[in-house]
Structure 1
Amino acid sequence: MLVQSVRRASAILRTLAHGGPRLGVTELAEQVGAAKPTVHALLRTLEAEGLVEQDSETGKYRLGAGLLMLGNAYLDTHELRARALTWADSLAKRSAEAVWVAVLNGDHVLVVHHAFRPEGAVQILEVGASIPWSTCALGKAIVAFGPTADRERLLAGELPVLTGTSITDPVELATQLDQVAATGYAVEDQESTIGDAGVAAPVYDRSGHVVGAIGVVGPVERVLVEPTRQEIAVMVRETARMLSRDLGAARTPSRRGA
């Protein structure tokens, strides 16, 4: 049984996360689809718990610091992230590029760990970044080896356009997923961000289910140029296999789950 007040509170938090830096009660009520008194009462409760904050000048609301503590607790207790730390750092050193570890969250992938590229300019930590699954190698790697039902659901859903090379044709994307399943790794070519590319492979847990993916991310002219692309693919698959074993996986399945 779902509790409506909890669902509405969650909707308020999601709206604040995506609707702008600050929103008023009226705006939130319209977007959440609830009465103003109900939204106001929920906001007061969320504020008391530190999950939202009210601007003293405008009276509008924004996300609170309490969510950051919850997010950090999620990362600290996430087994894939904990096990991936050493493997991601090693892969970053070997490939001389940044490495991301991600999990599937709805129709997006959530970056739970980011190992910086060993050398180069200032880099931005991408932990917490949420990316449409269809526009990145990490998402394709997870979906290609995940349950068939999930694959069909995601292919039937929205396929966002982030760049001119983002794939929006489900048939074309399905064909690419079949290729990923055959090769053991996925590739992104500027589909999420112009100039960036990625190579990723799936990670499994002790039950043999896909729990996420690990991949190299960097400038397209470095990551996808041959023979570097193939060298990175070998490194990524090898690292994903070792990380899977660290999580208790007996073997890496070669096809999608049922």
Structure 2
Amino acid sequence: MLHTRPLSDVIGLEIRDLDLSKPVDDATFAAIEDALNRHSLLLFRGQTLTNHQHVEFSRRFGSLMTHVLKQYLTTDLPEIYVLSNVVEAGKPKGNHKEGWNWHSDLSYVENPSLGSVLYAVEVPPVGADTLFASMHAAWDALPTETKARIRHLKAVHSYAGYYDKYFPDRPPLTAEQKAATPDVVHPVVRTHPVTGRLSLYVGQDIVKEIQGLPAEEGAALLAELNAHAIDDAFSYRHVWRQGDLIVWDNRCTMHKATPYDDAAYRRVMHRTTVAGDRPF
């Protein structure tokens, strides 16, 4: 039996007294997977994981994806995407100022991520919290008429558009990176493949437009849905400690990184990304 405590009323569960550096038996992992499907986010505090242990645990959820920005795959394992402000020998150790908008990881690919597994290697003493929002709760709270309006709409997710907006000071995406991330179309409301629950599937900036709507109307609707989705009533703020590991379900959550004093403090986070299925 798992020892747990809820993190908020709508999203998140802390799983206590489990050392992920040791083998996790099948029954325990089945309980972890069930908890993820029901609570959308799991927290494991006080972990001391090697890169291999991080990857091995992540693989229990499914095959792992490799990020298109290969310059930030700086560990000994390409499955680990590094988020960091640290520069070593003149080269960034990881991607800095990534994810400072509300999004679902890799929503911009044909088969987006099932989930992400983020491990806190080094964290600032203040700042750099991560906000998470339940898209199940956001959908449930929508007015009936809004649900009917958006139930079968589809939206265009664009990594190139997001990258150009957020990183104008960086080299542009290469032809190879653009070819690997063409614009894709996903439903605005998606069905969880395990639980059958509905959730919003939107995002700030990564979602370029809603198909079939005039540009101005579509932009207004996206702004309305995004503002609704990130309401405090559906959200949880995580204050990181070194050794925290969080697993979240990208099929029914959004998240956002927050700023910190990057001139005074170091931050090193290791993320693995679990492959998923095409949204429906």
State TM-score, norm by structure 1.
0.26
Kindly indicate which of the two structures has a greater share of residues assigned to helix: 1
State TM-score, norm by structure 2.
0.24
Determine which structure has more spread, i.e. the larger CA radius of gyration: 1
Kindly indicate which of the two structures has a greater share of residues assigned to strand: 2
Q: Which has the higher contact order (CA 8 A, sep 6+)?
A: 2
